[in-house]
Amino acid sequence: MSGMKVGAVIITMGNRPDELRALLDSVAKQDGDPVEVVVVGNGSPVPDVPEGVRTIELPENLGIPGGRNVGIEAFGPAGRDVDILLFLDDDGLLASHDTAELCRKAFEADPKLGIVSFRIADPDTGVTQRRHVPRLRASDPMRSSRVTTFLGGANAVRTRVFADVGGLPDEFFYAHEETDLAWRALDAGWMIDYRSDMVLYHPTTAPSRHAVYHRMVARNRVWLARRNLPAPLVPVYLGVWLLLTLVRRPSRSALRAWFGGFREGWTTPCGRRRPMKWRTVWRLTRLGRPPVI
C-alpha cells in the first residue's frame, strides 16, 4: 500500500445536500488509508455532513477557484499536510472504491506527474461527453493519455505543484482556471494525465445555457492568454477562438455576452503575467494541443 496521504476538497453552494452526502459516502468507502475531507461552503452554510468531515463556511461566494484555494490551504500552506488532493464536484460520485489507491500508485510511479484528470461519466448511461475529455482527439474517452489541461471538478493534484506554481487564479471566478494552473504546472516541468479508469459519475449538463457562462468564458480566455502566453501567440490564440466561436453560431444574446466578456478581458486587470517558456509551447505542441487553440 502506498504511503502517500490523500485529502479531498469539495466546494458547495449548500443546495444539493443529498448529492453531497452520496459523494462523501463514496469518498469514505475508498480503499487504503482514509481520505481526509474538507467541504467549503462558498457563501452558504454547509449541509449536515458525516462526523470527521471538516467544514468551512465562507461569508461570500469566492467563485470556484477561490473556494478551492481555501480548501487547499485548509491542509496547510499549499496543502502540504497531504501529498495528493482530490477536487470533486458536490453533485458527483466516485464510481469505484479504488480511485484513491489508483491515484497513489500513479503519482508514486511517476515523480513528474503533477495532475490527474478523471473521466466523467453520466451515472445513468455511462456516456462521457466529448467536452469532458481534455484533449483535441476526444472521440475515444476510454483511451488514457498525457494531456495539457484537466477537468476542474474531477481531478487529483500532487500538492507539490501548488508549492511550485501557486494555486488556482482567484480572479477567474469561473471558467478556464484549470488551464491556467495546467499551463503553469507544465511550464514548471510537471506532467498531466487523463485516466479513463478513474471515474466520477456526474449528471450530464450544459453550462452554456447561462448567459454568464459566455461572458466568463470569453473574459477568462483573454486573461488566460495575457497571463501565460508569449506575446506573439496572444493574438493568434485569441483570433482562433474568436473564429471558432463565430463558426459555432451561438444565439444573438450569447454572442453579445461573449463579446462583452472579450472586451472585459482586455480592459480589466488579469493578475500577474508569467509568459511560458518557448520550450513549454513546444511541449504542448508535442502533446497534441499547441497553445493557439
d(CA 269, CA 285): 28
Q: Read off the pLDDT band of 207 (50, 70, 90).
A: low
Count other C-beta atoms under 10 Å from residue 269's C-beta. 8
Q: Counting beta carbons within 10 angstroms of the beta carbon of residue 141, is it exposed (0 to 12), middle (13 to 18) or buried (19 or more)? A: middle
Q: Where are the strands (E) in the chain, listed by range?
A: 6-12, 36-41, 54-57, 84-88, 93-94, 113-121, 145-147, 154-158, 191-201
With beta carbons less than 8 A apart as the criterion, state whether 275 and 231 touch: yes
Residues in the chain: 293
Computed over every residue of the chain, the mean pLDDT equals: 96
pTM: 0.96
- Residues 6 or more apart in contact with residue 246 via CB below 8 angstroms: none
Give phi and psi for 124, each to the nearest 5.
Answer: -90, -40
pLDDT digits (tens, 9 = 90+) for 137-155: 999 999 999 999 999 999 9
pLDDT at residue 75, as a whole number? 98
Mean pLDDT, to the nearest integer, of 197-209? 83
Taking 60 as the threshold, does the pLDDT of residue 1 lie above it?
no
Summarize pLDDT for 67-123 with one digit per residue, the tens: 999 999 999 999 999 999 999 999 999 999 999 999 999 999 999 999 999 999 999
Pair 132, 151: CB distance under 8 Å: yes
The answer to whether residue 159 scores a pLDDT higher than 80 is yes
pLDDT tens figures, 226-275: 999 999 999 999 999 999 999 999 899 999 999 999 999 999 999 999 99
pLDDT recorded at residue 2: 60
Residue 146: what residue type?
R
Give 278's pLDDT tier (boundaries 50, 70, 90).
Answer: very high
CA-CA distance, 200 to 194, in Å (whole number)? 13
Helices (H), 128-192: 159-165, 177-187
Residue 205 has pLDDT above 90, yes or no: no
- Give the per-residue pLDDT at 212: 85
Does the structure show a pLDDT above 90 at 211? no
Are 271 and 171 a contacting pair, CB within 8 Å? yes
Contacts 24+ apart (CB under 8 A), 33-36: 33/1, 33/5, 33/6, 35/6, 35/7, 35/8, 35/86, 35/100, 36/5, 36/6, 36/7, 36/8, 36/75, 36/82
Is residue 208 over pLDDT 70?
no
Mean pLDDT of 50-70: 98
* Per-residue pLDDT at 23 exceeds 60: yes
Q: Predicted confidence band at 204 (pLDDT cuts at 50, 70, 90)?
A: confident
Q: Quickly count: other Cβ atoms within 10 Å of residue 80's Cβ.
A: 14
pLDDT at 125: 93
Query: What backbone phi and psi angles, to 5 degrees, belong to 290?
Result: -60, 145
Share of the chain above pLDDT 90, in %: 95
Report the DSSP pairing between strands 154-158 and 113-121: antiparallel
CA pseudo-torsion sign 268, 253, 177, 293? negative
Percent of the residues in the chain that have a pLDDT greater than 70, as a whole number: 98
Contact criterion met (CB below 8 Å) for 129 and 123: no
